[in-house]
Amino acid sequence: MSLKKFADKIFSRAALRGIVAIVIFLIIWEIGARSEQLFGYRFPFLGLVPPPSDVLVSWAGLIGDPSYWQSWYMSFLRVFGGFIAAMLIGIPLGLFMAVNKTFYGMYFPTFEILRPIPPLAWVPASIIFWPTQELSIAFVTFLGAFYTIVINVLGGARSINKQFLQAAQSMGASQWDIFRRIVLPATLPSIVVGSAVGMGITWEVVVAAEMISGGGSSGGGAGGGLGFFIWSSYVGGSYEQIIVGMISIGIAGYLSSELLRQAGGLLTPWLKTR
């Protein structure tokens, strides 16, 4: 049954249409990129981009290159480092703000004022403040996920159905019980959503931070990473590798969100019944 379902899914009309669209896109890209050789006229935009076949060849050459995989490793390390830090600080902070009205009243406005400043605008200040470049990248990465996680946790914890709390109280639950058995699980779906969004932002920030710092200076021990890979490919003039890097980041980002989705699904099994 499940195999049949899988086969049905692959050969369904929707999937075939998707494949058709992607193939057509690749053909247009290939022709556009080779327009100068083919027609003697360079198409706008596409004519300046390397063709997909060259990208594939370049990628095949990189698969065996350990430094390419080192870039993956570095980026993943930074993403998860910043992301986990944001969870460790953001979730308790969000919950605390939801529970403690005085603290919320004092610091939420400040939080809201800082939030519109894009994380990347913090890069120079962060470099000045932190002793190493690696730490400054970590800080900016942390910041990217931090705001989203706090906002989602806070929103989730504040929208808990009051009857849940009253039911628990009437059954004699202590404050700690209520927090642990009601507030925390009821906020979990929001935590999962906030983390998923935060993960996307984290990748954006890491890529940019790697480009800005890696592109600006070679020292400080902050080399490597997929963002830097793209930037150095650009500086070195190997344009196929830029696209290899972009696709790699796309895959890496997708894998991270998928990992998070799976973990979220395991943590909130009751949402599946919907």
Partner 1 sequence: MANSSEVADSAVSMAAPQSTEISSMSLTMYRVSNWLKSPRPYLMVIGFAAVLSFWYFAVEVWKLPRFQDMPGLTEVFSEWFSKDPYYGLSVYTPEYYKHIGISLRRIGFAFLLATGLGVPLGLFLGWSKTFREYVFPLFELFRPIPVLAWVPLAIIMFVGSETPVVFLTFLASFFATTLNTMLGVESIDESYSRAARCLGANRWQTFKHVVVPGAMPYIFTGLQISIGVAWFSLVAGEMVSGQFGLGYVINTSYMMIEYPKIIIGMITLGIVGYSTSAMVRLLGDYLMQWRVRELALGDS
- Which range in 81-89, 91-99, 111-119, 154-162 contacts partner 1 by CB under 8 A? 111-119
142 close to 86: Cβ distance less than 8 angstroms: yes
User: According to the binding rule CB under 8 A, does residue 125 interact with partner 1?
Assistant: yes
Task: Select 212 or 222, whichever has its Cβ closest to partner 1.
Answer: 212
Cα distance between residue 146 and residue 129, in whole Å: 19
User: Per CB under 8 A, which region of 32-40, 86-94, 169-177, 203-211 contacts partner 1?
Assistant: 203-211
Angle 160-80-183 (CA atoms, 0-180°, nearest 5)? 15
- List CB contacts of 196: < 8 A, sequence separation 6 or more: 257, 260, 261, 264
- Taking the complex as a whole, how short is the minimal distance between the CB of residue 222 and partner 1, in angstroms? 15
Indicate the residue among 269 and 274 with the shorter CB distance to partner 1: 274
Closer residue to partner 1, CB minimum distance, 39 or 254: 254
Residue list 214-243, contact with partner 1 (CB under 8 A) = 215, 226-227, 230-231, 233-234, 239, 242-243
Contact 137, 209 (CB under 8 A): yes
CB proximity list for 243: less than 8 A, separation 6 or greater: 49, 50, 55
Task: Choose among 90, 76, 18, 30: nearest CA to 57.
Answer: 30
Question: Closer CB to partner 1, residue 108 or residue 167?
Answer: 108
Q: Which stretch binds partner 1 (CB under 8 A): 16-24, 29-37, 174-182, 266-274?
A: 16-24
Stretch that binds partner 1, among 62-70, 107-115, 159-167, 168-176 (CB under 8 A): 107-115
At its nearest, how many Å lie between partner 1 and the CB of residue 271?
Answer: 18
CA pair distance 183, 162, nearest whole angstrom: 10
DSSP 122: G
- Taking a C-beta distance cutoff of 8 angstroms, is the pair 159, 149 a contact? no
Tally of CB atoms within 10 A around 22: 10
Site residues, partner 1 (CB under 8 A): 13-14, 17-22, 25, 45, 48-49, 102, 105-110, 113-114, 116-125, 127-131, 200, 203-204, 207-208, 211-212, 215, 226-227, 230-231, 233-234, 239, 242-243, 245-247, 249-251, 253-254, 257
